[in-house]
Structure 1
Amino acid sequence: MEQTPTPLTRQVAARIVGYIRETAAEPGTRLVERTLAAHLRVSRSPVRAALRLLADEGVVAVAEPGGGHTVARPVTELTVEAGELGDEDEEQYLRIASDRLDGELPDRVSESELARRYALTPAQVTAVLRRISGEGWIERLPGYGWEFQPMLTSQESYEDSYRFRLALEPAALLEPGFAVDQAAIEVVRAQQLELAEGAAHTVTNTELFARNRAFHEAVVACSHNTFFIDSLRRVDNLRRLIEYRRTLPRDRAAVRCREHVDIADLLLTGRTADAAEYLRRHLTTVSVEKTASPG
């Protein structure tokens, strides 16, 4: 008899979907159990069970040869069950994000409180919490309720995050162990080119953030320095909500995405030092534009 997935399995599955969304992983991208377990801070056993569940739902596929799993569907085609929200639920998700930024929500909440406050059905609450949990800014408490995780909320902390990235990201390109992962950089380059050529005007704020985050994290991952990689992921998790409000006007966003393409081209042609300098100028300019924009 087929066993019903445990709450832990479903929670880890939702977080894996969140990881796929955050990295804007293309179909065919291999999902490594060890990497997922380290990123989600769980053992490999629940990751393995969650991948089987996602395979049953068609979100991932069994890789051949050699086993393992790969992404099966584009991010834009993920279902509500897999963590994607419909238009109405997306609106409620953004309301929760906004209220959390404004301090309108306490650190701990229950599903019934969220349902009552936002006029959500139980299914909608489940879908929204899966999305938020998958993105890492809320966690289920043992037994009952949910707890929001720390996020950047103030102008000062937001500016600090950009100064930190300005110190970290260009330096990552100059690490002794830096080696371009050509396949990964080509994937994020293609995503950025699509944004630069028009998609920046049509994607949601959450999708724009996910793709831009994926680009910067893919570049820093080439440093093969776990301290650089983990530090950037942590600050990206912290700045997620405030970035939804700080998204650039879409014509400016398209320009910044074009700069991402230029940085990728420099890396792919072996001009790493030039890419590091270009990245420094890019982050400096974006920082000025973002921190000067109204919150």
Structure 2
Amino acid sequence: MADTYPSSSLATQLALDIRRYIAQAGLLPGARLPERSLADHFRVSRSPIRAALGQLETQGLIARQPEGGFTVREIPLSDPVQPQRLESDEEAAYLQIARDRLDKQLPEKITENELMRRYGLTKSQLSSILRRMANEGWIERLPGHGWTFLPALTSAAAYTQSYRFRVLMEPAAILEPTYQLDRAELLRCRDEQRALVEGAVFTVLPDQIFDANTRLHECITNSSGNMFIADALRRLNRVRRLIEYRKAVDREQAHRRCVEHLKLIELLLADEREAAADFIRMHLRDAAREKASIAS
């Protein structure tokens, strides 16, 4: 995986992105920060991630562990990174672009100048938004000039089908003979889910809930050892992200699902895979019924 920026500037940018990531996910002190997972999340190699983590260690935001790796430290009250992210002008513009894309108000191909004029953004703001959209997988840069939007789920019928597909796929992933649990990543996901259950689910933005839940489900399928199952869920999550933004968020339902996530994680940690497969099947079917009842 090739990096497209000089390592020093990329590491500095990644350090800022990881700080934001820690805040958005509501990670608690002691939460693990695996290099491989961060590299996959930000779509870079592990070398600049390692450099970025070194910068954050120097800043006192994270701590190096004797056995290797890093964990989140207690964040001082004066630290600019807060555990919750309020909706800024940049965030509002990002969500408006998502809504306009779903409503087919934006062409498939568009330039940065067009986006800046349409949404009243500075070049710096737009660069941040485009980087986020590209990381999330629903836009990519065209060779030479401009950007193109990638396919996304836009209909209720397709959304329902996506859940039916997951009901078939995710329990099967757990039962694969090549299944090997990524324990470090699952423990990090458990930290995120605990933070949501303990109250963050009622205060964070909807995309933060989506990202935390997506990381957990992808951790489970990635552990299957089956590249086709893992890739299928990653692709599906990219195209369903925008329609998730459109749906109203029932915080009580979201809280209940996070409680179920913690139960699922404990089953996996105990290596009770058949019980975990049955549980995730029920979890996904119930979630599909609940979300289908919420107007798009």
Q: Give the TM-score taking structure 1 as reference length.
A: 0.79
Amino acid at match of 1:149: L
**More displaced stretch, 50-59 vs 155-164:** 50-59
Q: CA deviation at 1:72?
A: 7.2
2:257: which partner in 1?
Answer: 256
Task: Indicate whether 1:116 and 2:117 are aligned.
Answer: yes
Partner Cα distance (2:224, 2:238) in 1: 20
1:196: which partner in 2?
Answer: 197
CA contact (8 A) 1:17 1:134 kept: no
1:36-66 Cα distance to aligned partner (Å, 9 max, x none): 47994x8x5xx74x54774687499998999
CA distance change for structure 1 residues 28 and 189 in 2, over 3 Å: closer, same or farther? closer
CA distance change for structure 1 residues 180 and 163 in 2, over 3 Å: closer, same or farther? same
1:227-262 Cα distance to aligned partner (Å, 9 max, x none): 111111110111111111235400111001101111
1:32: which partner in 2?
Answer: 36
Q: CA deviation at 1:184?
A: 2.2
Q: CA deviation at 1:183?
A: 2.5
Partner Cα distance (1:150, 1:174) in 2: 30
1:283: which partner in 2?
Answer: 284
SS at match of 1:32: helix
Q: CA deviation at 1:269?
A: 1.9
CA contact (8 A) 1:5 1:53 kept: no
Q: How many residues align?
A: 275
Q: CA deviation at 1:197?
A: 2.4
CA distance change for structure 1 residues 71 and 190 in 2, over 3 Å: closer, same or farther? closer
CA contact (8 A) 1:197 1:254 kept: no
Q: How does 1:174-193 map to 2 (within 5 A)?
A: 174-193=175-194
Q: CA deviation at 1:127?
A: 1.5
Q: CA deviation at 1:193?
A: 2.1
1:153: which partner in 2?
Answer: 154
Partner Cα distance (1:64, 1:262) in 2: 27
Partner Cα distance (2:281, 2:70) in 1: 33
Partner Cα distance (1:57, 1:70) in 2: 12
Partner Cα distance (2:65, 2:155) in 1: 47
RMSD, matched Cα = 3.7
Q: Percent identity?
A: 38
Q: CA deviation at 1:6?
A: 5.7
Q: CA deviation at 1:138?
A: 0.9
Q: CA deviation at 1:201?
A: 0.4
Task: Indicate whether 1:138 and 2:134 are aligned.
Answer: no
Amino acid at match of 2:195: E
Q: CA deviation at 1:188?
A: 1.2
CA contact (8 A) 2:35 2:50 kept: no
Amino acid at match of 1:207: Q
1:152-189 Cα distance to aligned partner (Å, 9 max, x none): 11112111111111110011111112233332222212
CA contact (8 A) 1:139 1:147 kept: yes
1:95: which partner in 2?
Answer: 96
Partner Cα distance (2:65, 2:202) in 1: 37
1:103-138 Cα distance to aligned partner (Å, 9 max, x none): 111111111111111111122111211111121211
CA contact (8 A) 1:21 1:210 kept: no
CA distance change for structure 1 residues 271 and 151 in 2, over 3 Å: closer, same or farther? same
Gaps of 5+ in 2: none
Amino acid at match of 1:187: R
Amino acid at match of 1:166: V
Partner Cα distance (2:291, 2:185) in 1: 27
CA distance change for structure 1 residues 86 and 253 in 2, over 3 Å: closer, same or farther? closer
Q: Give the TM-score taking structure 2 as reference length.
A: 0.78
1:40-98 Cα distance to aligned partner (Å, 9 max, x none): 4x8x5xx74x547746874999989999x868799xx898xxxx997110011000011
